[in-house]
Amino acid sequence: MASLEDIKTIGVIGAGQMGNGIAHVIALAGYDVRLLDISQDALNKAFDAMGKNMDRQVKKELITAAQKDDALKRVSTGTEYSFLSDCDLVIEAATENEEVKKQIFKALCPVLGPEAIIATNTSSISVTRLASYTDRPSKFMGMHFMNPVPLMKLVELIRGIATDEVTYRTIHELTKKLGKETASAEDFPAFIVNRILLPMINEAIYTLYEGVGNVKSIDTALRLGANHPMGPLQLADFIGLDTCLSIMHVLHDGLADTKYRPCPLLVKYVEAGWLGRKAGRGFYDYSGDEPVPTR
């Protein structure tokens, strides 16, 4: 891969919240997007979500209706890896599970051209280790978008130990072209944002667990006392408590420090299936018009 000019078609693997957000910003930036998922149903939902999210941007006059129509025309969907064979870059945005990602890379590499770059949207797993599951560690790196992708300005860029300079420079330039700002992080557990953010969320859950404050008082304290746009427990529900727990496990396992021990209450909520907003219940109950604290 010589440079940014060589990237015309971009594949995105995973049609969940992150995948459809990444496809959304790539299509608006003028690239052809191939969105892949094992489920056609998930792909249909993702395409609908993209349309609705772009409608919001049109309403706010951030984009025009014509830009929305053009972008959606650039998105095609498929369920077979061969569908990605002409991609110049593929961004993996599947669930935060190393075994799942490993299987994806094993299936993806044989269909890609030799010059194609692979990026992973992992929020915490070793980029070097993920690269080792591919046939091109030098053309592999981390490209960690923030959620919700269309709104959040940051993309963390993470080189694996084998990532070459051309790959890094190409992805850096592409990120700018998508209208995002970059922060470069070394390949250590959870990188920058989640290394700082998740222990704060975990500490908020300990504060709840130990009875220092209830859900409402903890979230109010951080919103009004630290000027955070949302409280840490509300944010945990938004991220997904299963994702929060898996990142705490990565930090705890990778850095072997007890300060990263997941709070037992977080473990309990995940065991109960109270995963936050996506499950209708976490630290808040979302079944009514207004979220109600569950503790």
Cα 20 to Cα 32: distance, rounded to the nearest angstrom: 14
Is residue 36 within 8 Å of residue 11, measured between CB atoms? Answer: yes
Length of the chain: 295
Q: Letter for the amino acid at 218?
A: I
Those residues whose C-beta lies under 8 Å from the C-beta of residue 195, and which sit 6 or more positions away, are 188, 189, 251
Cα 86 to Cα 136: distance, rounded to the nearest angstrom: 16
Cα 217 to Cα 220: distance, rounded to the nearest angstrom: 5
Question: Of residues 92, 124, 156, 202, which has the active-site annotation?
Answer: 156
Q: How far is CA 7 from CA 3, 11, 91, 135, 223, in A?
A: 8, 11, 13, 20, 41
Question: Of residues 24, 144, 202, 246, which has the active-site annotation?
Answer: 144
Among 128, 266, 257, 145, CA closest to 194:
145
Q: Would you call 24 a catalytic residue per the annotation?
A: no
Q: In degrees, to the nearest 5, what angle opens at C-alpha 84 toward C-alphas 102 and 42?
A: 75
Q: How far is CA 125 from CA 8, 136, 289, in A?
A: 28, 18, 36
Strand order in the sheet with 140-145: 75-78, 32-36, 9-13, 89-92, 117-120, 140-145, 154-159, 181-185
Instruction: Classify residue 15 by its DSSP letter.
Output: -
Q: Would you call 123 a catalytic residue per the annotation?
A: yes
Question: Of residues 20, 124, 126, 194, which has the active-site annotation?
Answer: 194
Question: Of residues 123, 124, 126, 202, which has the active-site annotation?
Answer: 123
Q: Would you call 228 a catalytic residue per the annotation?
A: no
Cα 274 to Cα 135: distance, rounded to the nearest angstrom: 39
What residues act catalytically?
Answer: 123, 144, 156, 194
